[in-house]
Copies of this chain bind each other. A is one copy, B any other.
């Protein structure tokens, strides 16, 4: 018998669950589904491999496969603004600014068979259905919607690797379930490379889908089981030659033909249904094989009890959410637990129940003592999400670091991941921030693997000379503007990352490496123009570029930000930066200006990923580079301004509505920022064990640590007016430096804030 690696003791848990609070009720997965949040409303388990969620559109349907920029809008496949649903697919990113996935779109229909989705303007032109939010329910682990065009109720729930559909049909002799293997997110360029489906019997099909999307080469295997035998089935091939060549006509391959292989396959399954008859479908995924998918299904959902699976999913969510028990006003309760939910749905499990997964080398590997994860949006998540995991999910974060090290071992480039998903790296964004995640986990004692090897992986990655200007950075201390469109972002981020490597080396007693990387970490100075006081691109000849506008984000050497924001990006040397900017007082003034300036529309228009509400003055919260900036007032001698700005951001950028997120949630980074800040502290420089203290927005929070201890926060007198910290104590001892250490948390204890409507400007 195959030894199973069980990440959640599901059965045991069911017994204990009744003692837990119902925190699921605060989770509103629809938050962020409108405008720029890019979250999805469907059902998923914590860190689940399956994200079973409705698609309201993907760009390909409207425009015959030609890119029109709309693909960005549908990163998560669902837009709250839309009026129709095309179906339910099994994989989704949460909050990303780039798209992919959307595997195995399934749609129940009644009446004349339609195998194209049709258009939103004419829902009747295809299999898509109208729907109304009135008939829609989205909860952690559960989604329900009425498909008005067919009078079908669709319900979804999920375990880690299995999605379960329950369709309540009307009476019909023409009930269908459509499986559109040509559908997908980021689908505009003939994304499918191959698909394969086999009908094992009249209730089970298996297969796989290979795509060349954002992930260059990605295969997802499935097993799909129906609660009721289909009476017939068929397929249609889109725009392609017959799948068999030569003597392929020996069977009719369009009707009841059980072995399909082609680039573009659409399938349908026919049923007779009685009024209110429920047809259920279990869809298990695997990165490795159909057999593993089937095994995952049998292991995770052995029966057909949809309600029990839903209950288990929500019990599992309650268990995870209970890691932090918060008391706050209703809006903050919803915001907090939705943020906690959004932070606990990525990275995602990328491993079968038998421990097998696909590696970066595209071969199958068996995880040795860890759960393999994927979907690492590291430019975003190194900042607050992984530090957050180091407090509330250290075991998982340990496994995530191990997954990143497996990535390093398995790719030919020998690099830690940049932005990776499904055994691929797409190298999205700047820096090599894996090293921050690795260093933070080691420094905080979370990583229990071979730390020397981990350090080596960081060093190798940071010396990949032909990657994005690293050679120049090493040789000259900066990247010439001629050599990279994002020369300054890169230099600043590399400098921070190098500092993180130095901290890791220090922890391991490697003084030489520490010294080398501390030196590299000072490279930020090479892009700091003392005269203008801004970070500024520098030419190969050492001169500052002349056409420089610190408001602009285009052609200025930055990515997802302008110099105004990036000039504060020295999280590891805040004192050095304050000093460079003319001392604490001038540093504070610069921060004041950032938060109060007006960003003209022309520059806002250049700012991707965020709504107008995602901006406060010139501070852009919807993008990540400035996430630490509100906390910099602590180093400017004006911590009360950190407190005020943090509370302002918490109120403005996070609202409990579908359009409540001011920018992409970015795989939980925005949510992690919310939770840290709402609890009153933030990791300004991951790799350091220190947190900067801000202003809590909750009344209290109790963190249940994996070591069995609890760390709680209490904010006495907290209100929307009392945003200032009059006094803060740790276990009764006064904190004067507005700093908290990770050890303070690990030891358990109590952080008590006394809140006030007036800033505490005294010593």
Which A positions have Cβ atoms within 8 angstroms of B?
98, 189, 193-194, 196, 198-200, 206, 208, 210, 212-214, 216-217, 241, 243-248, 250-252, 258-259, 261-263, 289-291, 361-364, 411-413, 419, 426-429, 466-468
Kindly report which residue of chain B lies nearest to residue A221, judged by CB atoms. B363
Q: Would you give 19 A-B contacts (Cβ < 8 Å), ordered by A?
A: A189-B245, A193-B193, A193-B210, A193-B263, A194-B194, A194-B210, A198-B361, A198-B412, A200-B412, A212-B243, A212-B263, A213-B245, A216-B261, A247-B428, A250-B467, A258-B413, A259-B411, A290-B361, A291-B364
- Interfacial chain B residues near A208, Cβ < 8 Å: 362
| Residue in B241, B258, B413, B427 whose CB lies within 8 Å of A412 | B258
| Residue in B289, B291, B427 whose CB lies within 8 Å of A250 | B427
- In the bound complex, what is the Cα–Cα distance between A704 and B554 (angstroms)? 81
- In the bound complex, what is the Cα–Cα distance between A199 and B414 (angstroms)? 11
- Interfacial chain B residues near A261, Cβ < 8 Å: 212, 216-217
Q: Contact: A426 with B244, CB < 8 Å?
A: yes
Q: Known interface pairs A247-B427, A251-B466, A259-B412. Does A217 touch B198 (Cβ–Cβ under 8 Å)?
A: no
Q: Contact: B258 with A244, CB < 8 Å?
A: no
Q: Contact: B216 with A244, CB < 8 Å?
A: yes
- In the bound complex, what is the Cα–Cα distance between A549 and B427 (angstroms)? 68
For this chain, the copies found in one complex come to 2
Q: Contact: B247 with A426, CB < 8 Å?
A: yes
Q: Contact: A217 with B196, CB < 8 Å?
A: yes
Q: Contact: A427 with B244, CB < 8 Å?
A: yes
| Residue in B98, B250, B412 whose CB lies within 8 Å of A468 | B250
Q: Taking the nearest CB of chain B, how far is it from the CB of A457, in angstroms?
A: 17
Kindly report which residue of chain B lies nearest to residue A208, judged by CB atoms. B362
- In the bound complex, what is the Cα–Cα distance between A413 and B256 (angstroms)? 10
- Interfacial chain B residues near A241, Cβ < 8 Å: 189
Q: Contact: B427 with A362, CB < 8 Å?
A: no
| Extra 20 A-B pairs, beta carbons < 8 Å, given A193-B193, A194-B194, A217-B261 | A98-B246, A189-B241, A193-B263, A194-B210, A194-B212, A194-B217, A200-B412, A212-B243, A216-B248, A216-B261, A247-B427, A247-B428, A247-B429, A248-B426, A250-B427, A250-B467, A251-B466, A259-B412, A259-B413, A290-B361
Q: Taking the nearest CB of chain B, how far is it from the CB of A237, in angstroms?
A: 12
- In the bound complex, what is the Cα–Cα distance between A747 and B412 (angstroms)? 59
Q: Contact: B196 with A193, CB < 8 Å?
A: no
- In the bound complex, what is the Cα–Cα distance between A593 and B98 (angstroms)? 76
Q: Taking the nearest CB of chain B, how far is it from the CB of A482, in angstroms?
A: 16
Q: Taking the nearest CB of chain B, how far is it from the CB of A236, in angstroms?
A: 17
Q: Taking the nearest CB of chain B, how far is it from the CB of A461, in angstroms?
A: 13
Q: Taking the nearest CB of chain B, how far is it from the CB of A256, in angstroms?
A: 8
- Interfacial chain B residues near A98, Cβ < 8 Å: 246
Q: Contact: B246 with A291, CB < 8 Å?
A: no
Q: Contact: B466 with A362, CB < 8 Å?
A: no
Q: Contact: A428 with B194, CB < 8 Å?
A: no
Kindly report which residue of chain B lies nearest to residue A361, judged by CB atoms. B198
- In the bound complex, what is the Cα–Cα distance between A343 and B229 (angstroms)? 47
| Residue in B189, B245, B252, B259 whose CB lies within 8 Å of A214 | B245
- Interfacial chain B residues near A217, Cβ < 8 Å: 194, 196, 261
Kindly report which residue of chain B lies nearest to residue A293, judged by CB atoms. B363
Kindly report which residue of chain B lies nearest to residue A255, judged by CB atoms. B466
- Interfacial chain B residues near A200, Cβ < 8 Å: 412
Q: Contact: B246 with A426, CB < 8 Å?
A: yes
In order of increasing CB-CB distance, the 5 nearest A-B pairs are: A258-B412, A217-B261, A198-B412, A250-B427, A193-B194
Q: Known interface pairs A210-B194, A259-B412. Does A290 touch B363 (Cβ–Cβ under 8 Å)?
A: yes
- In the bound complex, what is the Cα–Cα distance between A98 and B413 (angstroms)? 41
Q: Taking the nearest CB of chain B, how far is it from the CB of A353, in angstroms?
A: 16
- In the bound complex, what is the Cα–Cα distance between A363 and B286 (angstroms)? 12
- Interfacial chain B residues near A250, Cβ < 8 Å: 427, 467-468
- Interfacial chain B residues near A248, Cβ < 8 Å: 216, 426-427
Most B CB contacts (10 A, CB to CB) among A252, A263, A363, A364 go to: A363
- In the bound complex, what is the Cα–Cα distance between A227 and B762 (angstroms)? 74
Q: Contact: A252 with B466, CB < 8 Å?
A: yes
Q: Contact: A289 with B364, CB < 8 Å?
A: yes
- In the bound complex, what is the Cα–Cα distance between A707 and B244 (angstroms)? 43
- Interfacial chain B residues near A468, Cβ < 8 Å: 250
Q: Taking the nearest CB of chain B, how far is it from the CB of A38, in angstroms?
A: 16
